[in-house]
Structure 1
Amino acid sequence: MQIEQQDTRVELVYGEDEAKYLLRDAAEIKALFRALLGHRGLLGARSIPGGHNFITALIEADEQRGILLDASTDPLQNERIAQSNALDCVTQLDRVRIQFLLENHALVVEDGKAGFRAPFPHTVLRLQRREFFRLQTPSTSARKVVCRFPLPLGNGRTHEVELSILDISRGGVAIAVPPGGVALEQGAVFEDCTLLLPDTPPVSTRLTIRNLFRITRPNGVELLRIGCAFADLSASAGDAIQRYVLRMERERNARERGLI
C-alpha cells in the first residue's frame, strides 16, 4: 500500500458541507478504525510539537482500551514521541485520505512489543480526492491558472489581486489565499471574478465561498484554501471550463503513460 504522504496538515476551518469531511460521532469513528484495522494499512505519524515523523501501523482498535499503534524501531525516538502533546496521523482507506490527532498517547510495552496507546480521536477528517483534488492545476508559470479576485478590505472597499487556482471543475474552484488580514466568511459572494485559463478566453463569474481549509506545509508556511462554487455561470463559460478540464486530464493521462 502507498501511504498518503505526510507533507501537509489539512484543517477544516468551516464548511456548509462539514459532515462530508468531518466525522464526529463516536460510534462512526470507532467503526472507521475497525475498518482501518481490517485493511492492515500503514499510517504516517508526526509528533506535535517536535515534528518527529515515523511510519506506523494500527495494531488494535478496542472499544474500551482505545487505539494501539506500532512504535518506532528507535527507542530514543519513541521516548521523544511519548513526550509530545499529540500525534498527527494520516492514512488512506479506499483512496480516501484519513487524518486525525491522537492525544494523551502513552508509550507502552504489551506482549513484549512497544507501542503507543491512546483514546479514540474526537474527530476524523476525510478527504476524497475526487472532491478535494478535482483537477490539480499546473504550477509552472507558463501554465499557471489564476483568478482575479476582489478581496474585501472593509467599508465596502475591495482590492483586486491574482490568486492561484489549486483545482477546478465545472462546478467551482479552490483558490489559495495567504492567511491574515482577509475576512472570508462562509457563504460570502464575490462579484466580478475572472478566471484566466491557458489557451482559453477569460471567464467572468461570481463565486460563493462554500468551505475554508487551512493548509500547513512541512516548513510551517500556511495558506488558506477556499472552496468556491460558481454562481450564475453562463453555458458558454461552463463549456470553456469543461473543455479546459478535459484537455488537462488528457495531458495528465498521456504523461502518466509516458507519451509526452
Structure 2
Amino acid sequence: MSQPEQDRAQGSEPDRIQPLPTEGLDKYLLHGPRQIRQLLQSLSDAHALVSVHLTPGRESFLSAIVSLADDESAVYLDACIDEGTNRRATQAGKLLCVTQLERIRIQFSLEAAALATLDGRTALRAPLPAQMLRLQRRESYRLHVPLSHEARCALPRPDGGPRLPVRIIDIGAGGIAFHLAPDALHVELGMELAGCLLTLPDVEPMVVALEVRNITTQPSRSGSDNLRVGCRFAALPRGADTAIQRYILRTERELNARERGGL
C-alpha cells in the first residue's frame, strides 16, 4: 500500500480542497511544459494528497500523483477504491485537481483520463495538463477590506464575557488584521485567540483560532492611537478556507469593476 493510500485508510487525510475560479489569476498560471512536468514531479515526490473533482457534477475523491509516464507525456493518479467512481472519472468531461505543496495552492485540469495498470495496481492515466495554477497564498490573497463591507471578527475575552467585535481591515487566505483600542483587550505576540467569530459578507459566520503575529501602533483620525493587530489563522473549520478565498476573489472583482466604471 502506498503512503497516500495509508493516509486515506487511516483517516489522516486533510479535508478535501474545493476548486477556485481562476478569473483574474492569469499571472499565477504555468504554461511551460517543463515547468508543469517539474511541478507534477514535486507533487509526486511529496506524496501530496489531491482532491479530484469530476466535472460536470459534484462528485470528488482523494487521490495522489503516482508518477509521470516514461516519455513524460502523461501523468498517473491513484485510482479511487470505488470502481464506479473510477468509471465515472473516465467518462467525465474533465477532472479538476486541487492540492497544496508547502502551503501553496495548486490547481489543474486533466482530460481524457483512462484506467491503466501501473506496477500491478489500478491507476488513472491522463495527458499532462496544458496549464497549472500555482497560487502563493499571501501575495495573492491580501485584500484591504472596503469600508462598506461588514467584515468583522469577535474576539473572546479572558473573563468569559461577551466577545469583543473588531472591524477587519485586511484579510488573506492565511489570516486577518484588525484595529484594536489599546485598552480594549490585552494582546501580545504569539498569543492564540481561540473561539473567535469571523463574519464576512454573504458568508456564514465561522469560529476560528487566531495567532497574533504582529502589533503596531497607528494614529486614528480622532487623534488617539489604535493598535493594528495582524494574525494568522491557527485553525479553520471545514470549508472555511474556500469560503474566505471566494469572498476575497469576489470582492476583488467588484473593486476592479468599479475602477473600470462597470459598477
Structure 2 length-normalised TM: 0.52
Q: CA deviation at 1:113?
A: 1.7
**Residues 36 and 146 (structure 1 numbering): CA distance in 2 closer, same or farther, change over 3 Å?**
closer
What SS does the corresponding residue of 1:34 show, helix, strand or coil?
Answer: helix
Q: Which has the higher contact order (CA 8 A, sep 6+)?
A: 1
Matched, 1:52 2:52: no
Matched, 1:116 2:124: yes
Structure 1's unaligned 5+ residue stretches are 136-144, 150-161, 175-196, 201-220, 223-234
In structure 2, what is the equivalent of residue 203 of structure 1?
Answer: none
Matched, 1:24 2:28: no
Q: CA deviation at 1:134?
A: 4.7
In structure 2, what is the equivalent of residue 129 of structure 1?
Answer: 137
Deviations 1:210-234 (A, max 9, x none): xxxxxxxxxxx99xxxxxxxxxxxx
**Residues 40 and 199 (structure 1 numbering): CA distance in 2 closer, same or farther, change over 3 Å?**
closer
Matched, 1:35 2:34: no
In structure 2, what is the equivalent of residue 147 of structure 1?
Answer: 146
In structure 1, what is the equivalent of residue 86 of structure 2?
Answer: 78
Q: Which amino acid aligns with 1:58?
A: I
Q: CA deviation at 1:97?
A: 1.1
Matched, 1:68 2:68: no
Q: RMSD over aligned Cα, in angstroms?
A: 4.1
Structure 2's unaligned 5+ residue stretches are 1-6, 154-166, 173-177, 182-201, 204-217, 237-263
- For residues 68 and 138 of structure 2, the distance between their equivalents in structure 1, rounded to whole angstroms, comes to 28
Q: CA deviation at 1:11?
A: 2.4
Contact 1:169–1:245, Cα closer than 8 Å, also in 2: no
Aligned ranges 1:1-260 → 2 under 5 Å: 5-15=15-25, 18-19=26-27, 21-62=28-69, 63-134=71-142, 147-148=146-147, 162=149, 164=151, 199=180, 236=219, 243-246=227-230, 248-249=231-232
Deviations 1:108-162 (A, max 9, x none): 2344421111111111111222224459xxxxxxxxx96245xxxxxxxxxxxx3
Structure 1 length-normalised TM: 0.53
Work out the number of aligned pairs and report it: 173
Contact 1:3–1:92, Cα closer than 8 Å, also in 2: no
- For residues 28 and 243 of structure 1, the distance between their equivalents in structure 2, rounded to whole angstroms, comes to 43
Contact 2:61–2:80, Cα closer than 8 Å, also in 1: yes
Q: How much identity, in percent, do the aligned residues show? A: 30
Structure number with the higher strand fraction is 1
Q: Which amino acid aligns with 1:6?
A: R
Contact 1:23–1:123, Cα closer than 8 Å, also in 2: yes
